[in-house]
């Protein structure tokens, strides 16, 4: 079954992201997490320290990933 944790894992592998990269990407969306919180997301579901990735975290990661890959959104000129 494909859940938020699996989506995050697949993106991490595909883009060869390290924990620090994921933390940086989340900061681009003004979402602060620690390295231990990131590690808990990538544990096996039967591990006692496993944490389910919520929709808000995944949404902020994807928004930050856009900024990470494309750069910041240009400001509108009036």
Encoded tokens for 74:
């240009």
Q: Are 47 and 54 in contact (CB under 8 A)?
A: no
Is residue 76's pLDDT more than 90?
no
The tens digit of pLDDT for each residue in 31-62 reads 999 999 999 999 999 999 999 999 999 999 99
Q: At what angle do helices 55-70 and 4-14 cross, to 10 degrees?
A: 20
The tens digit of pLDDT for each residue in 9-38 reads 999 999 999 999 999 999 999 999 999 999
Rounded Cα distance, 75 and 18, in Å:
30
The tens digit of pLDDT for each residue in 4-16 reads 999 999 999 999 9
CA atoms within 13 A on the CB side of 57: 17
Q: Look at residue 72 in the predicted model and tell me its pLDDT.
A: 78
Q: Look at residue 34 in the predicted model and tell me its pLDDT.
A: 95
Domain assignments of the chain as residue spans, ordered by start: 4-70
């Amino acid at each position: 079954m494909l859940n938020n944790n699996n989506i995050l894992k697949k993106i991490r592998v595909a883009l060869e992201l390290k924990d620090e990269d994921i933390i940086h990407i989340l900061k681009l969306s003004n979402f602060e997490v620690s390295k231990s919180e990131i590690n808990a997301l990538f544990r096996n579901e039967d591990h006692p320290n496993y944490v389910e990735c919520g929709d808000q975290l995944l949404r902020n990661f994807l928004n930050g990933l856009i900024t990470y890959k494309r750069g910041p959104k240009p400001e509108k000129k009036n």
